[in-house]
Structure 1
Amino acid sequence: MYKVSAICDRATAERISDVLADMDPSPAGAVSTEEATRVSWRIDAFCHDEESVQACISIIESEGEGLSAAHEKLDDKDWVAESLKGLPAVEAGPYYVAGAHELTRLAGGRIPVWIEAGPAFGTGHHGTTKGCLEALADVAKKRKLGKVLDIGTGSAVLAIAAMKSGASMAVASDIDPESIRIAKINAENNKMGRNLHLLVATGANNAFIRNQGKYDTVMANILARPLVSLSSDINKLTKDGGYIILSGLLNHQEPQVKAAFAGRNLALVDRRRLGAWSTLVFKKPLKQKTKKRPARDPWMDDNLFDPAEYFGI
């Protein structure tokens, strides 16, 4: 594991962080920004190999005028998890997402979601995850969550929150086997039982996902381009009247995602922004029932029946 670092102002650090996060695939396995001094910030990008290091250096130096990025080889440990240790609990709507040490401080009236810091995305601290949790809470107020699909589940935080908000069952998938391994630990810690199904899958192209029929609530916290490409599959997997919660997109990427889903006759019913990140909520309309027209009586057809002639008028 390698770390690429640079010192700059806060706006530049956050902008470069967004650029690296928006890339698909990104050369950085994880990116963090933090205050270095009262007037400067540090951006750290964690990379798995030297090729990714050079790519990150090139991006950082080209995006920040006059910036010089340094890199170092790290000891063999999970630096993504290390960088997350000690994070405070996240409160999003009714949810209280935290590790075991923070959950001991939880007061009543909140929904606890036990997620330890780890390499799987989804501790609740990122604007996309928090936005999805808040949107999920709003949808749960409007209707029963019913059967839930969570595409790109990461730590399974969204699927677990949905189950704790009354979902009848949930299917949560991720392209990364390591994320599903972590998700299974989180599911066990949260006592999810057999109604939460976790599986490795690319997008929605999976027989188990399709065989469950259509879903009342679909969530996908991934990236803008995959969201656009999945719009057709997500639409087909959503029940009429169902809700779709999307995130993983930057604010300036909203138009392309909106266009892809609005083009499927889905209505945008909510949008929330947290920092540079957006969460969009769509609703699939109910099909209008068409009234059956009564069978036509041929004797009342003007071509066959003339009332004036019949009655001698």
Structure 2
Amino acid sequence: MLEGLHPVSPTHLMRLETSERAARKVGDLIGEMFDPAETAVAAFEAPDGQLWLVEVFFRDAPDEDHVRALVRASAGDAVAACVTFHAIESRDWVRTSLDGLKPVQAGRFTVFGSHDRDKVAPNAIPIEIEAALAFGTGHHGTTLGCLRAIDRLAKAGRAFRPLDVGTGTGVLAIAAGLRHRVPVLASDIDRVSVVAAHENAVLNKARGYVQVIHAAGLKDARFRRGAPYDLILANILPRPLVGLATDLVRLVAPGGTVVLSGIIPPHANLVISAYRDRGLHLVMRETIEGWVTLTMRSGR
């Protein structure tokens, strides 16, 4: 499934029912062509299991001809002819999105919505996250890659000072806190995400582990007070990851681990290079649904 940072008060929805192959192509192209702060793209299996759905939520009314042209370019005339557009009431997309979401397993973690509480295995670490006005329900390849990394790293040893940059719904901070049983500092540039992350921490009985702050970048003094961090999570986008590299690496403890995601394959080497130039080395590269998660470690 593909996701974006859902825009505040979306007004229009594009919907398409098609094959998995076409859905992924359409979702990838539209996700690349529009500002993720103004649109949200989701491609997921329909409840009947026969076809896939593509849904694009727009903050403002889209140019329908332009969107259809993008669909046509990625999947052909027949698929473009099936595209529909709808005006939506504020927050209606939340309930719509939930219809296609199923529990996600990532190592010991199970991420689920309230409608699937009865489907969580007894030995799992449950994290309940609803579709909301923030990124991160666990279904996107970036979030899934980070969750797998957190679980994998926990098996190798405990992290004592985790930091989650661009926390969205707070799912990664909650996972790190519950898995390692330590306090986690989480931040986001978006105030709506800060509220959502705090509410999700309370919902998942992780309030004592997760502190969420509103901050742009990493220059806020609160980051330095908690440094150095032996685990830093940053699931954002390639350009801000590169822009944050210098400040982020300064916060990493000697031998600490950095998990970076939100990266499509053509941009992975750019991100690796930016962090390698600042003293980190690549430990693992994992690609899930066309999205790359990098695990890097400080040699200091």
TM-score range, shorter chain: 0.7 to 0.9
Closer/same/farther in 2, CA of residues 209 and 167 from structure 1, 3 Å limit:
farther
Contact 2:45/2:100 (8 A) holds in 1 = no
Question: Which residue does 1:189 correspond to in 2?
Answer: 203
Question: Which residue does 1:302 correspond to in 2?
Answer: none
Question: Which residue does 1:25 correspond to in 2?
Answer: 35
Question: Which residue does 1:44 correspond to in 2?
Answer: 55
Closer/same/farther in 2, CA of residues 231 and 273 from structure 1, 3 Å limit:
same
Letter in 2 for 1:31: A
CA distance in 2, matches of 1:276, 1:266: 24
Contact 1:28/1:56 (8 A) holds in 2 = no
Matches within 5 A, 1:125-144: 125-144=139-158
Is residue 2:178 matched to residue 1:164?
Answer: yes
Which consecutive unaligned segments of at least 5 residues does structure 2 have?
Answer: 1-10
Is residue 2:237 matched to residue 1:199?
Answer: no
Q: What is the CA-CA distance between 1:88 and the residue it aligns to?
A: 2.1
CA distance in 1, matches of 2:113, 2:107: 18
Contact 1:85/1:117 (8 A) holds in 2 = no
Contact 1:215/1:238 (8 A) holds in 2 = yes
Matches within 5 A, 1:94-109: 94-109=108-123
Moved more, 260-269 or 94-103: 94-103
Closer/same/farther in 2, CA of residues 206 and 55 from structure 1, 3 Å limit:
farther
Moved more, 199-208 or 18-27: 18-27
TM-score, normalised to structure 2, is: 0.85
Contact 1:90/1:96 (8 A) holds in 2 = yes
Question: Which residue does 2:187 correspond to in 1?
Answer: 173
Closer/same/farther in 2, CA of residues 81 and 244 from structure 1, 3 Å limit:
farther
Quote the sequence identity (%): 34
Moved more, 189-198 or 177-186: 189-198
CA distance in 2, matches of 1:49, 1:222: 23
Residues 254-283 of structure 1 deviation map (CA, whole Å, 9 limit, x = unaligned): 111111111212110011111211111000
CA distance in 1, matches of 2:39, 2:66: 9
Is residue 2:295 matched to residue 1:281?
Answer: yes
**How many residue pairs get matched?**
286
Contact 1:22/1:223 (8 A) holds in 2 = no
TM-score, normalised to structure 1, is: 0.81
Letter in 1 for 2:24: E
2:23 to 13, 19, 35: 13
Letter in 1 for 2:13: K
1:245 to 259, 263, 282: 259
Q: Give the structure with higher Rg (CA).
A: 1
Contact 2:41/2:54 (8 A) holds in 1 = no
Residues 73-108 of structure 1 deviation map (CA, whole Å, 9 limit, x = unaligned): 123433044312462211100112223443334333
Which consecutive unaligned segments of at least 5 residues does structure 1 have?
Answer: 287-313
Contact 2:104/2:112 (8 A) holds in 1 = yes
CA distance in 1, matches of 2:274, 2:100: 39
